[in-house]
């Protein structure tokens, strides 16, 4: 397990993801430093709508240095790449079909769903439910809102005005608590896990497709130095990106695509033809051994050696039983006229 690194200041690194709740699409944006997240309902999942919602969030909290997302079409489009360039932030995507690599956003999605579902069941205001989460202290002693804004924000719970004044955050304490938590998570996770061997460029591997089948490919290179993601090239020349857990080393050789000439005719040597083989036959290339290029003859007709004649049932009303080749006695039919 690779634990996430605590940023140096709030809103330096943020993650985003999409989720569906009550048949409606939502986007979540979470801060790596404070665990503060924003949830916004969407009218569409197109790139232009996603960009518009992110712009509104960045207008309130500032533009982050790094944005982490999955490889959905909304985030991998040219329009989103232009947005990242115009707003001057680094866009990093997780491994395709491996949601665990965007773990913080996935965990916050589950938290947001649980909060909103409970508020709906209890007929409560969903915004007050989100406010309660943002003002609840974490294991480091600070709430997400306090870590992000440097002060305790006011809620419906009575509080002294002096406690709402800005105060200095102990960054060393925040990082130490974060490190202890990630270290504990890593120790539990690594009990049933082990590190996979890094792959080298040019190795033959098999990678998993969305339908759970495994396809032969060649390693092109590593996606980046921080993740376990690789670029691989299939036999058809298509470039894929997969996490190391979705790639298996194979000892198979990469088989080239067949390239046969349509007008190719094999050279047939003169061979003696057995007497019991008909002259109309076709030559066949023997392929049982990879080193053999011997031409053998496969006859179309073969004269069957003489065999004992098969017993034929008598015709007419002879009334005499006969014996088959297997030794069974066949009784004659008795026809009675009425």
| Same domain? 71 vs 110 | yes
CB-side neighbour CA atoms (13 Å) of 191 = 6
| Same domain? 219 vs 102 | no
Per-residue H/E/C for 18-84: EEEECCEEEEEEEECCCCCEEEEECCCCCHHHHHHHHHHHHHHHCCCCEEEECCCCCCCCHHHHHHH
The answer as to whether 158 is a domain residue is yes
pLDDT digits over 235-289, tens only? 777 777 777 777 777 777 665 544 444 444 445 445 444 554 454 444 444 444 4
| Same domain? 78 vs 219 | no
CATH of residue 244: 2.30.30
Angle at 20 between CA 14 and CA 22, to 5 degrees: 135
Residue 89: pLDDT band (50, 70, 90) is very high
Tokens of 112: 């947001």
Task: Give percent of the chain above pLDDT 90.
Answer: 34
Name the 3-class secondary structure at 182: helix
DSSP string, 71-134: --TTTSSHHHHHHHHHTT-EEEEPPTT-GGGGHHHHHHHHHHHHHHHHHHHTT--HHHHHHHHH
What is the number of domains present in the chain? 2
Ranking 127-141, 175-189, 317-331 by mean pLDDT, the lowest is 175-189
Instruction: Name which of 233, 230, 224 is nearest 204 in CA terms.
Output: 233
| Same domain? 210 vs 186 | no
| Same domain? 51 vs 156 | yes
Rounded to an integer, the average pLDDT of 190-204 is 68
| Same domain? 184 vs 218 | no
| Same domain? 124 vs 160 | yes
| Same domain? 135 vs 212 | no
The answer as to whether 266 is a domain residue is no
The answer as to whether 278 is a domain residue is no
| Residue 1 confidence (pLDDT) | 54
The answer as to whether 183 is a domain residue is yes
Distance of alpha carbon 291 from its chain centroid, rounded? 40
Tokens of 209: 């497709």
Question: What is the rounded CA–CA span in Å between residue 69 and residue 103?
Answer: 10
User: How many residues are listed for the chain in this entry?
Assistant: 338
Which domain covers residue 30, as residue numbers?
A: 13-192
| Residue 259 confidence (pLDDT) | 45
- Which residue would you say has higher pLDDT here, 317 or 158? 158
Rounded to an integer, the average pLDDT of 319-333 is 76
Tokens of 191: 């009990």
Mean pLDDT for all residues in the chain:
76
CATH of residue 112: 3.30.420.10
The answer as to whether 184 is a domain residue is yes
pLDDT digits over 170-190, tens only? 888 888 877 777 666 656 555
| Same domain? 162 vs 38 | yes
Residue 169 DSSP symbol: -
**Single pTM value for the model:** 0.61
The answer as to whether 125 is a domain residue is yes
- Which residue would you say has higher pLDDT here, 193 or 288? 193
| Same domain? 110 vs 172 | yes
Ranking 100-109, 176-185, 310-319 by mean pLDDT, the lowest is 310-319
| Same domain? 96 vs 219 | no
- Is the pLDDT assigned to residue 65 strictly greater than 50? yes
| Same domain? 34 vs 141 | yes
CB-side neighbour CA atoms (13 Å) of 157 = 10
The answer as to whether 25 is a domain residue is yes
Name the 3-class secondary structure at 269: coil
Rounded to an integer, the average pLDDT of 89-99 is 75
Contact indicator for 39, 22 with CB cutoff of 8 Å: no
The answer as to whether 265 is a domain residue is no
């Amino acid at each position: 397990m690779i634990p996430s690194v605590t940023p140096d200041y709030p809103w330096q690194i943020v993650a985003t993801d999409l989720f569906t709740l009550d048949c409606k699409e939502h986007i979540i944006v979470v801060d790596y430093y404070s665990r503060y997240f924003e949830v916004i309902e969407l009218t569409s999942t197109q790139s232009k709508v996603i960009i518009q919602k992110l712009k509104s969030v960045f207008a309130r909290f500032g533009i982050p240095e790094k944005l982490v997302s999955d490889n959905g079409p909304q985030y991998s489009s040219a329009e989103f790449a232009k947005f990242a360039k115009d707003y001057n932030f680094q866009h990093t995507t997780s491994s395709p079909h491996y949601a665990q690599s965007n773990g913080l956003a996935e965990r916050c999605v589950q938290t947001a769903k649980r909060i909103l579902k409970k508020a709906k069941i209890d007929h409560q205001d969903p915004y007050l439910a989100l406010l309660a989460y943002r003002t609840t202290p974490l294991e480091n002693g600070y709430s997400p809102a306090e870590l992000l804004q440097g002060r305790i924000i006011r809620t419906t719970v009575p509080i002294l005005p002096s406690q709402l004044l800005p105060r200095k955050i102990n960054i060393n304490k925040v990082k130490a608590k974060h490190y202890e938590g990630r270290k504990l998570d890593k120790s539990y996770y690594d009990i049933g896990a082990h590190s996979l061997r890094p792959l080298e460029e040019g190795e033959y591997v098999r990678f998993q497709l969305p339908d759970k089948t495994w396809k032969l490919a060649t390693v092109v290179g590593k996606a980046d130095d921080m993740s376990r993601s690789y670029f691989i090239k299939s036999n058809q020349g298509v470039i894929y990106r997969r996490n190391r857990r979705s790639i298996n080393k194979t000892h198979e050789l990469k088989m080239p695509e067949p390239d046969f000439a349509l007008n190719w005719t094999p050279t047939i040597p003169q061979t003696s033809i057995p007497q019991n083989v008909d002259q109309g036959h076709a030559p066949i290339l023997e392929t049982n051994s990879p080193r053999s290029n011997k031409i053998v003859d496969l006859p179309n007709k073969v004269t069957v050696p003489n065999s004992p004649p098969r017993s034929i049932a008598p015709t007419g009303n002879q009334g005499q039983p006969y014996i088959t080749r297997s030794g069974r006695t066949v009784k004659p039919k008795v026809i009675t006229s009425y």
